Amino acid sequence: MIATGVRATARIVAREDGRGGTALPVLEGDGPLALRRTRATGSEARVMLVGAMSGPLGGDHFAVEADVESGARLRVGSAAATIALPGQAKGESRYDVRIDVADGGELHWLPEQLISVCGSDLRVTTRIDLAGSARLVLREEQVLGRVGEEPGRLTSRLTLRIAGRTVLDQELACGPGAPGGWDGPAVLAGHRAVGQLVVVRPEFTREPPAARMLGECAALAPLGGPAVLVTAVAADGLRLRRVLDEALASLG
């Protein structure tokens, strides 16, 4: 028997409904990626990503595509952590996220952590394309291994374009087989949780937040364009979440 991974693509389109709210003309889950609309608040539509199977396992290829059209407001969360697991199929698994937000659109993309389990091999790409007046809050958290366990191999790339210009392009590789030094003093130094928070607001063009430290192991940095990035490392996922939540609150 040849084991092949699961291919699945989930799609979300958010559109202004003309009555002060946001409609979801496309809300398509697929296999292990199920989507649930939850109760809206004000003009914002809310979607939960619900894992209907475990994974991604080795060889799986998951994708999530979200389009937020002009004037629409969408908040996406997930019901539980995503857990990268080893699988019977050979080779790496992939998780690709594509996000487009049009002018005047707003997206809060706040999934739970990604946990890289011992023996797993996952490549994550997150590509965000924003129009010039789009707004975004995006959080990414990676936890390297379950408690007391060695992590799997994880490579995660985050690319942010605003009005066609790339303002952030970064990749972190860690775990067995990653380039040397990933757990050393220049990269993670034994921290088992690493995360990023991206906040894009048009008003940052006029008043960019100043760069600042958030404790010992996190920093907030203004990027080129109306965007800031918070980079944080922590001993575990809980501490990481606390730092990123405080960073978001500090931006008002």
Binding site for other proteins (CB under 8 A): 157, 159, 165-173, 179-182, 184-189, 194, 211-213, 216-219, 221-224, 229, 231-233
Rounded alpha-carbon distances, angstroms, from residue 221 to 94, 158, 216: 29, 16, 15
3-class DSSP assignment, residue 126: strand
**Residue 180 beta carbon to other proteins: minimum distance, rounded to whole angstroms:** 4
Amino acid at 170: Q
In the complex with other proteins, the residue whose CB is nearer, 52 or 211, is 211
Measured distance CA(63)–CA(96) in Å, rounded: 5
If the CB atoms of residues 45 and 229 are measured against other proteins, the closer one turns out to be 229
Per the CB < 8 A criterion, the answer to whether 171 and 157 are in contact is: yes
As measured in angstroms, the least distance from the Cβ of 187 to other proteins is 4
> What's the CA gap between 246 and 220, in Å, rounded?
11
CB of 117 to other proteins, least distance (A): 21
Q: Which amino acid is at 29?
A: G
Q: Determine contact, residues 76/45, Cβ cutoff 8 Å.
A: no
Q: Provide, rounded to whole angstroms, the least separation between the CB of residue 159 and other proteins.
A: 8
Q: Which is nearer to other proteins, 1 or 186 (CB)?
A: 186
CA distance 55 to 87: 9
Question: C-alpha distances in angstroms, 3 versus 54, 59, 89, 103?
Answer: 16, 9, 5, 44
Cβ 80 to other proteins shortest distance, Å = 25
| 29 versus 225: smaller Cβ distance to other proteins | 225
- The answer to whether 62 and 51 are in contact (CB under 8 A) is no
Q: How far is the CB of 60 from other proteins (least distance, A)?
A: 24
CA atoms within 13 A on the CB side of 164: 0
Nearer to other proteins, 24 or 128 (CB): 128
Beta carbon nearer to other proteins, 76 or 168: 168
Q: How far apart are CA 13 and CA 125, in angstroms?
A: 20
DSSP state of 186: T
Nearest-approach distance from CB 101 to other proteins, in angstroms = 18
- 85 vs 167, beta carbon nearer other proteins: 167
